[in-house]
Amino acid sequence: MVWGMTMDANSLTLVTGGGGFLGGRIVEAVLGRGGRVRIFGRSRYSRWEGRPGVECQVGDLCDLAAVRIACRGCGLVVHTAAKAGVWGSRREFFETNLDGTRHVVEGCVQEDVPRLVFTSSPSVVFGNRPIEGGDESLPYPKRYLAAYPESKAAAERLVLAADGRLLGHGRSHLRTCALRPHLIWGVGDPHLLPRIAAAAKAGRLRQVGNGRNLVDLTHVEHAAQAHLLAALALAREDSPVAGHAYFLGDREPVSLWPWLRGLLGRLGLRIPARAVPYRVAHLTGGALELLYRCVPGLGEPRMTRFVAAQLAMSHWFSHAAAERDFGYRPVRDPAADLEAAADWLRASLERPEAGA
């Protein structure tokens, strides 16, 4: 992978969600290669205030006027902002993930932004069946188990369909692509690793299924660099990237439950040996979803059908297309990264609660 690539110092990159885990790494990657960044989000993100080469714009993806202003003067938009999660209001998922993305596309068109890289998810092709070595020919399923993948699939389709749209000045076209990093992790992860550790610490984490399922993980640095590589590829004449989606991941899939046991063992935590059959978890998840919809205010169910499928089934993908079309090659040492993540997570768990 060409890690030494440079960005055009005269061009401005808009990163939506630049205060997030992946978005922040993309901002750092652009700055590290001589570029300038505008961050669009719902707050100013103090970590970026006063940073040379960075400007922050506060706004909401649901506000087309604000999005259009954020796009103004940019040569590239990297759209990472999204509502993620396995539970929540279907309306809110679609407002942020689909309507918000529609506003980003319109902002690019109206403000003459020539390139748009969209952060999608492999869950857009995940229905209720295992996926082993799947590639970009996989179809979108007819039904989804959660609003998040359904809304992201709708947004991805919109972005890819926008490739080739005539820009506002009428002299060139928008070029788009979508990247599908699977289970982004690493030091600083505010979502995946802390959630797993918290469940294990509380005694709520149970193996679902037979424990032989393989899954892809994507280190956050791999995901960030892939976004830059795809953006550079979009700038080429007759780019093979334009109008396409790509799976991303680390070098090899991991055996999920042994990997989790290895991580938690470093933290002095464990997963009970007794497993929950997938069918039981699936039925339990469906019942809890019904209950939580009927009784507002209960929070998030401990199990859903989507979570049961993700924990029990294999879901890993070929990254050959990303390697072929824009030079994606995962180069990091997974063992060293696991140790670093465990050390960081251990320190996070030992840190006193705010106000304690």
Q: What are the residue numbers of the active site?
A: 148
Between strands 214-215 and 254-255, the pairing is antiparallel
- Partnered with residue 245 across adjacent β-strands are 178
Angle separating helix axes 278-294 and 305-312, nearest 10 degrees: 160
Distance in angstroms (rounded) separating the CA atoms of residues 78 and 16: 6
Tokens standing for 104? 């980003």
What gap in Å lies between CA 348 and CA 267, rounded to an integer? Answer: 11
Which amino acid belongs to residue 351?
Answer: R
